[in-house]
Structure 1
Amino acid sequence: MILTASLTTGVACATRGMRESARLADAILTLDHVNLETTLAIGDAEFHTTKDGPFPNHQLRISVRPSTGFAAINYMDHDDAQMPIANSYSSKRPLPEVDLIFNGTTGAVFPRTAAIRIENAREALHEWLQTRKRPTCIDWRPYDSY
């Protein structure tokens, strides 16, 4: 298993194996995503090694604000006919007063309903590493264009 990451810090990296990938996932949850999101792809090859690919069929995007205790996740899977693009979802109200970066290039932020506790995001990341599918331990809602 290889986890390819483009971090909020502007650094790209790849890890090999579950232990190394889990450590990276945990480290991502400590980064303050102020200007850029982190994108992750998992597979048997390192993604984006050349301009011609390989390219992932599914991707996880995450934004975290450790000082607030919240994160938001977007998951895209072209093989999922029911919900090919989804955001994490929390039904808890009131909604947290936190803007979590969806796309630093465009300035888009996640809807506040996508904000989940960091510990729930950690559980979701680790489940994704194990299954390579959209995690079932958190709730999801179909993606809305931003």
Structure 2
Amino acid sequence: MNVVSAVVDNDWQYATTSAERATLARLVVDEPHPDWASLLYVCDHRVADDVRGPDWQLRVSTDPARGIGAMNWIGPVPSDELGPWDTFNPFADPQAQPILFDGSVPSYFPPSAALPIEDVRRAVAEHLCTGLRPECVRWQPGDRF
């Protein structure tokens, strides 16, 4: 059985059941996290600071008040192309306030990575079930690991 390990607000959270996954998805997507993006790992064991996780992760950053978010994927993809990958929205507003990528730097996603929050919610749910890069959204090459 796959275990979801997530870093949310710099704190580890875990989910193994469908109900726990749904709760975790709501926490990651629908709650404000102004200082940190959430990191998601899906594998066969719990991941923590002292336990090696998989070589892939989904980074999720949302701004629920604006109804938008962006994601970054590091890991394998069906085409075997190298990453990292950021979400892609050809209709994103290039002048919009940026979405946080890493609060410790700080750094931001490119404007073209901004998606409607409903798309982020759907992609996170897909990832929590498959452990793979969500295919329900479009991706573009990213420039941060």
Considering the TM-score relative to the shorter chain, is it more than 0.5? yes
Are 2:42 and 2:128, in contact at CA under 8 Å, matched by a contact in 1?
Answer: yes
Are 2:40 and 2:58, in contact at CA under 8 Å, matched by a contact in 1?
Answer: yes
Deviates more, 1:84-93 or 1:11-20: 11-20
| Alpha-carbon separation, structure 1, partners of 2:41 and 2:69 | 18
Give yes or no for the alignment of 1:40 onto 2:53: no
* Structure 2 residue aligned with 1:132: 131
- The code of the aligned residue for 1:16 comes to T
Q: In the TM superposition, what is the alpha-carbon distance from 1:33 to its structure 2 partner?
A: 2.6
> Deviation string for 1:25-46 (max 9, x for gaps)?
1221122232211111111100
- The code of the aligned residue for 1:116 comes to L
Are 2:41 and 2:131, in contact at CA under 8 Å, matched by a contact in 1?
Answer: no
Give yes or no for the alignment of 1:63 onto 2:67: no
Are 2:92 and 2:111, in contact at CA under 8 Å, matched by a contact in 1?
Answer: no
Percent identity, aligned pairs only, is 25
Structure 2 alignment gaps of length 5 or more = none
Number of residue pairs matched by the alignment = 142
| Alpha-carbon separation, structure 1, partners of 2:93 and 2:49 | 43
Question: Structure 2 length as normaliser, TM-score?
Answer: 0.89
Deviating beyond 4 angstroms after TM superposition, the runs of 4 or more aligned structure 1 residues are none
Give yes or no for the alignment of 1:26 onto 2:18: no
Q: In the TM superposition, what is the alpha-carbon distance from 1:91 to its structure 2 partner?
A: 0.4
Are 1:64 and 1:100, in contact at CA under 8 Å, matched by a contact in 2?
Answer: yes
Q: Secondary structure at the match of 1:22?
A: helix
> Deviation string for 1:12-57 (max 9, x for gaps)?
211112321122112211222322111111111001252xx22222
* Structure 1 residue aligned with 2:12: 12
Deviates more, 1:17-26 or 1:112-121: 17-26
* Structure 2 residue aligned with 1:141: 140
Q: 1:103-114 residue pairs with structure 2 within 5 A?
A: 103-114=102-113
RMSD: 1.8
* Structure 2 residue aligned with 1:54: 52
Are 1:29 and 1:64, in contact at CA under 8 Å, matched by a contact in 2?
Answer: yes
Question: Structure 1 length as normaliser, TM-score?
Answer: 0.88
| Alpha-carbon separation, structure 2, partners of 1:57 and 1:19 | 26
Structure 1 alignment gaps of length 5 or more = none
